[in-house]
Amino acid sequence: MCKSHLTVGECAKFYGLPDWKIRRVVDSLDAKIPRAGRYRLVPRELLGAVAVELDRRGWLAKQESVTA
């Protein structure tokens, strides 16, 4: 079953980045982020926006092109 929301830690693992970078990006988004206790729950629909902001900040690793 696919989860509809991810925690900041799960997003960090997904992107291979530290939690603090994801937390800063999520907090900067113009979206209402639900919480469960102290955990931010990032809707899957926002993962694209998170990736765009990570890239804009230069925090996403550039994929190296593979030539055959």
- pLDDT digit string, tens, across residues 3-37: 899 999 999 999 999 999 999 999 999 999 999 99
Q: Is 51 helix (H, G, I), strand (E, B) or coil?
A: helix
Q: Is 4 helix (H, G, I), strand (E, B) or coil?
A: coil
pTM: 0.83
Contact predicate 29/57, CB 8 Å: no
Show the tokens assigned to 25.
């990006």
